[in-house]
């Protein structure tokens, strides 16, 4: 099923606007509806306000000029709204604008539940509590029930879906991620990578790996299988290294096969990918 409804979460940072540009590129390519969720710092923002072209000011926005910092945030939000709506008009696509408080993850998750794909940013390490810094992408992956495209906080990513690394391990999450990502596989080349613990592991999974590749062929995706032994390396390091070797523009991975707490204790692949990602990662749970 093609993409028809996208959501992008962004803020006043350069990374936020770069993420917005990626979202517009995807929306134009698929002629989809695009919702923009702009994140204000929590200390300056009011409860979420949303609308479809022609917002009224959210409660609490009047009088924001009492403090210089708050005034700057209000001006940045107004500028972002004008920029977003201008790009909608120039792109010839429909969409709507949402203003959210940073930390209002519940509001963003509610929005993400009713779209085909949510686009959010990687949480920058050692970031100050501003913009989307307190937003945890893993919370959206775990609770929205929709695919989430997480974009690194550094780098430029104008488009995704041409050269894809699919991290496959036979789990339901991996298979869910593959099917959720299919609308992005436009004239794509995909490498389906299985990382095994030993030779027996590779042998046991090889038939299923081949079936996954054939399934992608049926969808017009030029896919090929690849298997490798883990050795003493972290699976995330192997995946990121292969993504660089293949010049992949996106990694597709199942998100959190166990609970986030268990993954945190055991050093889960999902957590490590989110921490060290160098290209956008699409995750589903």
Q: What's the confidence (pLDDT) of residue 232?
A: 87
The percentage of residues in the chain with a pLDDT greater than 70, rounded to a whole number, is: 81
- Can you give 205-263 as a three-state secondary structure string? HHHHHHHHHHHHHHCCCEEEEEEEECCCCCHHHHHHHHHHHCCCCEEEEECCCCCHHHH
- Give the CA distances from residue 7 to residues 100, 111, 160, in Å, rounded to whole numbers and listed in that order: 13, 8, 16
Decide if 39 contacts 10 (C-beta within 8 A): yes
**Positions of E strands within 52-144:** 95-101, 117-121
Q: Mean pLDDT in the chain?
A: 83
Whether 5-151 and 163-284 share one fold: the answer is yes
Average pLDDT over residues 238-261: 85
pLDDT digits (tens, 9 = 90+) for 131-146: 444 668 888 888 888 9
CATH code reported for the domain at 5-151: 3.40.50.620
Q: Rounded CA gap, 177 and 241, in Å?
A: 20
Q: What's the confidence (pLDDT) of residue 54?
A: 34
| Position 167 confidence tier, pLDDT thresholds 50, 70, 90 | very high
Average pLDDT over residues 3-18: 93
| Domain regions of the chain by residue span | 5-151, 163-284
Q: Is 149 left (phi over 0), alpha (psi -120 to 50) or beta?
A: beta
Q: Rounded CA gap, 219 and 248, in Å?
A: 19
Q: What's the confidence (pLDDT) of residue 68?
A: 62
- Give the CA distances from residue 135 to residues 20, 40, 115, in Å, rounded to whole numbers and listed in that order: 16, 11, 19
Q: Which residue has the higher pLDDT, 36 or 185?
A: 36
Rg, the chain, Cα only: 20
CATH superfamily for 163-284 is HUPs (3.40.50.620)
Decide if 7 contacts 187 (C-beta within 8 A): no
pTM score: 0.85
CA dihedral 26, 28, 31, 37 (to 10 degrees): 60
In the block, residue with structure tokens 């104008």: 158
């Amino acid at each position: 099923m093609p993409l028809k409804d996208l959501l992008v979460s962004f803020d006043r940072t350069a990374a936020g606007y770069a993420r917005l540009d990626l979202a517009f590129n995807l929306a134009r390519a698929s002629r989809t509806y695009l919702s923009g969720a702009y994140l204000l710092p929590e200390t300056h923002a009011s409860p979420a306000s949303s609308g479809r072209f022609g917002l009224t000011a959210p409660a609490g926005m009047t009088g924001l000029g009492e403090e210089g910092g708050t005034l700057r945030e209000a001006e940045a939000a107004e500028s972002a709204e004008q920029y977003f709506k201008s790009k909608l008009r120039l792109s010839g696509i429909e969409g709507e604008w949402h203003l959210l408080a940073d930390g209002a993850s519940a509001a963003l998750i509610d929005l993400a539940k009713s779209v085909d794909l949510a686009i959010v940013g990687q949480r920058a390490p050692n970031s100050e509590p501003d913009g989307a810094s307190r937003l945890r992408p893993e919370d959206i992956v775990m609770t929205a029930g929709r695919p989430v495209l997480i974009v690194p906080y550094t780098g430029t990513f104008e488009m995704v879906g041409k050269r894809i690394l699919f991290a496959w391990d036979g789990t339901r999450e991996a298979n869910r991620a593959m099917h959720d990502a299919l609308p992005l596989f436009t004239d794509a080349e995909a490498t389906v990578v299985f990382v095994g613990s030993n030779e027996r592991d590779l042998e046991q999974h090889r038939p299923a790996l081949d079936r996954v590749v054939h399934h992608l062929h049926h969808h017009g995706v030029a896919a090929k299988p690849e298997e490798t032994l883990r050795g003493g390396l972290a699976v995330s390091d192997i995946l990121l290294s292969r993504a660089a070797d293949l010049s992949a523009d996106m990694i597709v991975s199942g998100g959190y096969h166990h609970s986030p707490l268990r993954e945190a204790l055991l050093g889960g692949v999902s957590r490590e990918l989110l921490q060290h990602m160098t290209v956008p990662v699409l995750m589903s749970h």
